Structure 1
Amino acid sequence: MNIIKSIFKPRDKPKNHTGDGIGGGRSFPFGRTWSGKSVTERSAMQTTAVYACVRIISETVASLPIHLYEYTDSGKERAFTHPLYRLLHDIPNPEMNSFIMREVMMSHLLLWGNSYSQIIRNGKGEVTALYPLMPEKMRIDRGADSKIYYTYNSDKQGTFVFRKDEILHIVGLGFDGLVGYSPIAMAKNAIGLSIAAEEYGSSFFSNSGTPSGVLEHPGVLKEPEKVRDAWNDAYGGSSNAHKVAVLEEGMKFNPISINPHEAQFLETRKFQVNEICRIFRVPPHMIADLEKSSFNNIEQQSLDFVTNTIRPWLVRIEQTIFQQLLTEEEQKKYFVKFNVDGLLRGDFKSRMSGYAIGRQNGWYSANDIRELEDMNKIPKELGGDRYLCNGNMVDINNAGNYNSGGESENE
């Protein structure tokens, strides 16, 4: 009998391959790009498109309610009394609220590909606080016992080593499933080109919006540096724009650079915005690029954003919390879930039409609808929990029995 062994080796050290050369076999040190600009997670945030994409995703995930649920005989209900509920929903630690904590976690995931938080437990093993840690200061190793350990280098307090159960590690897309790689590092060439285009535009306008060139003199100049510096002082910079130049002794100015229109400067900048949106899977209209959006498709694009961009991140976070913050015994009774109903709701007229269909066909009560609209419930004695159905809808087996006076099969 042949025994097939797994090729996955749990003893292997987790790796982050973002420092390797990526793209056509041409290798650069981490941060260097083909445009010549250095790109890191922090410098990328100075690009408006990157900042806008990171902000829209982080704020959207942070604004969604997150609940801890308990399985019941009738389905599920919120586990308000569990210590983890308030920690996730309201206050993860004394220094920040849940919105800020999740916003920081998402920004780390979007920039570094990993989110690390220190888990504080009490004597009973219950989680009492979560503190975010900077991904750039974390190193992951596998010890001699084949277990994973996290080494955190704090600038002021030294080096700390944490066990796996002491760190809430949300892993982004990665090669080995244990460490995520940085989206910024993987797309550094596209972001580097965007930075280069911004720098080119800034340089152009700082030079009064005129191209560089050569001052040509018919004779021999003893001190050409002084002539050049005098020209720059008189006509360089945006404050000297549109000044009339005066050339003496037969001197001529010959431009040698390509103007922005010929270099397709604006087209390049627009394309790089779409490139960065493609990296983060954000519809361009959400970062104020409305060129290809209209009233007919913008709502559908927003729903697509929730389904294809936000939902995968939510599932990633939910399953990590379930795995790392709940004990094996608790996992049989509890689960974590984000509420995305608010993002998926359509306009008022569409919602009311949907509620009316559900109400008339018996799967919505008045209180079910009011709860979805964040309204107070109607008291039970007034019929708020009653389920109704349209009177002209009967079982096909009983059709005609009521009008003919006959008895139905269910009586």
Structure 2
Amino acid sequence: MSILEGSVIAMGILSGIFKSRDKPKNRTAGSAYGFFLGSTTSGKPVTERTAMQMTAVYSCVRILAEAVAGLPLHLYQYTDNGGKEKAINSPLYFLLHDEPNPEMTSFVFRETLMTHLLLWGNAYAQIIRNGKGEVVALYPLMPNRMSVNRDEMGKLYYSYMISKEDAPNNKGNIVNLNPSDVLHIPGLGFDGLIGYSPIAMAKNAIGMAIACEEYGAKFFANGAAPGGVLEHPGMLKDPTRVRESWNATFGGSSNSSKVAVLEEGMKYTPITISPEQAQFLETRKFQINEIARIFRVPPHMVGDLEKSSFSNIEQQSLEFVKYTLDPWVSRWEQAMIRSLLSLSDKKKYFIKFNVDGLLRGDYQSRMSGYATARQNGWMSANDIRELENLDRISVEEGGDLYLINGNMTKLQDAGIFANKNNLGMEGTK
């Protein structure tokens, strides 16, 4: 059997497997429990948009979206000597680094897609190509209007719902796109094709945070009268009028601390429990940490400095880059390489975010590290200056020289090793 025949048989087997597979779904495998747009145990409906009204969710999403958008993004090409250099002459370099389309910058484009990825679990962008198949533009697509399906042959295709305002001439309101026309960055999921929304997976925790915030808002709205009983020694003819008059005079935070004058032997008895006794503040604080845990954002980055100090806050920031940003960056890089580069271009180019600037320590630590690298010969002056965003030193001035300490020598030429080597050479004479 030839290799070609074996490949055809293998493809046939794989095709049969894909035909039998269900289309990608936003739910757990074998479960009818849907996560999106459902109510929560707290009674508060949680969606991607209502969750963003929570300050903790908004802060986490903004931190991660701006962090990914602010990283330098470059297209590199392999050189003949085994190194790499920026492929600034490639049209794709300009799209990724500067403007993916005429309407937005690279920062805004990546910030938008990262926000989609954090809220819906998926980020989509339409790839516009010219007649040669080259990428000429990238446009974001709303994830809540995109669905991923399989045709009769088991091949994936993307269906995007467009509104009449977007395309009045389109009667079907559905546009089918090939996988080669879509940049799809999936988040964590169970089938490897569609990611699940962090908001949907943790909607009970977010719903409880929304309920706590609403409770606090209502408490302060009641101001000096957070709830109580007006007692009258006799019979009131119109209790509704008395209650409304009391609320109008003493209700609301603007009426707090007003002096109440009670007539006809009337007595006011408060019946509410203070927020401290109900551990309201502790609950709100825990829910903020819970939301930060969902997005794996250090608490000090969302304003909780209780467990942060000058001695550990830098380490927490480095851990944020290593354990939070790096996985997201890898998803971006591999998705862009898969979708934007042809099979032949993948052998010549690669796409890379530069996170070195975020991993740098304080000035003294960097200089100490550079000195060690410079003295041991694995970094030149220009290598160091590039990391510090300084101008290069010319070759004539020694900018590309690799130096080592003159006192260093090879192990085989030192001490007892050199003597043994010399004795061995004399014995052979």
> What is the TM-score with the length of structure 1 in the denominator?
0.92
Give the distance between the partners of 1:164 and 1:383, measured in 2 at CA. 50
> Paired residue for 2:252?
237
Which among 408, 412, 415 is matched to residue 393 of structure 1? 408
- 5 Å-filtered alignment, 1:60-209, equals 60-74=67-81, 75-155=83-163, 156=165, 157=167, 158-209=173-224
Deviation, 1:211, is 2.4
**Does structure 2 retain, via aligned residues, the 8 Å contact 1:18–1:186?**
no
**Does structure 2 retain, via aligned residues, the 8 Å contact 1:212–1:256?**
yes
Deviation, 1:193, is 1.1
AA matched with 2:130: N
> Paired residue for 2:321?
306
> Paired residue for 2:305?
290
More displaced 10-residue stretch of structure 1: 70-79 or 279-288: 70-79
CA RMSD of aligned residues (A): 2.4
Give the distance between the partners of 1:319 and 1:280, measured in 2 at CA. 21
Deviation, 1:223, is 2.2
Which among 236, 241, 246 is matched to residue 226 of structure 1? 241
Find out whether 1:17 has 2:27 as its counterpart. yes
Give the distance between the partners of 1:167 and 1:195, measured in 2 at CA. 35
Give the distance between the partners of 2:200 and 2:28, measured in 1 at CA. 6
Give the distance between the partners of 2:154 and 2:180, measured in 1 at CA. 14
Which secondary structure state, in structure 2, belongs to the residue aligned with residue 354 of structure 1? helix
Deviation, 1:164, is 1.3
**Does structure 2 retain, via aligned residues, the 8 Å contact 1:21–1:29?**
no
AA matched with 1:12: D
**Does structure 2 retain, via aligned residues, the 8 Å contact 1:211–1:258?**
no
**Does structure 2 retain, via aligned residues, the 8 Å contact 1:359–1:366?**
yes
Give ranges in structure 2 of 5+ residues lacking alignment. 1-9, 168-172, 425-429
Find out whether 1:259 has 2:274 as its counterpart. yes
Q: Residues 355 and 361 (structure 1 numbering): CA distance in 2 closer, same or farther, change over 3 Å? A: same
Give the distance between the partners of 1:139 and 1:151, measured in 2 at CA. 5
> Paired residue for 1:382?
397
- 5 Å-filtered alignment, 1:37-48, equals 37-48=44-55
Deviation, 1:68, is 1.1
AA matched with 2:413: N
Give ranges in structure 1 of 5+ residues lacking alignment. none
Q: Residues 29 and 165 (structure 1 numbering): CA distance in 2 closer, same or farther, change over 3 Å? A: closer
Give the distance between the partners of 2:17 and 2:62, measured in 1 at CA. 37
AA matched with 2:56: A
AA matched with 1:98: S
Which secondary structure state, in structure 2, belongs to the residue aligned with residue 17 of structure 1? coil
> What is the TM-score with the length of structure 2 in the denominator?
0.88
> Paired residue for 2:41?
34
AA matched with 1:257: T
**For 1:250-292, what per-residue CA distance to the aligned partner results, in whole angstroms no more than 9, with x for missing partners?**
3332333322111111111111111011000000111221111
**Does structure 2 retain, via aligned residues, the 8 Å contact 1:101–1:132?**
yes
**For 1:225-270, what per-residue CA distance to the aligned partner results, in whole angstroms no more than 9, with x for missing partners?**
1111111101101111111112223333233332211111111111
Structure 1 segments (4+ residues) deviating >4 Å: 4-8, 18-22
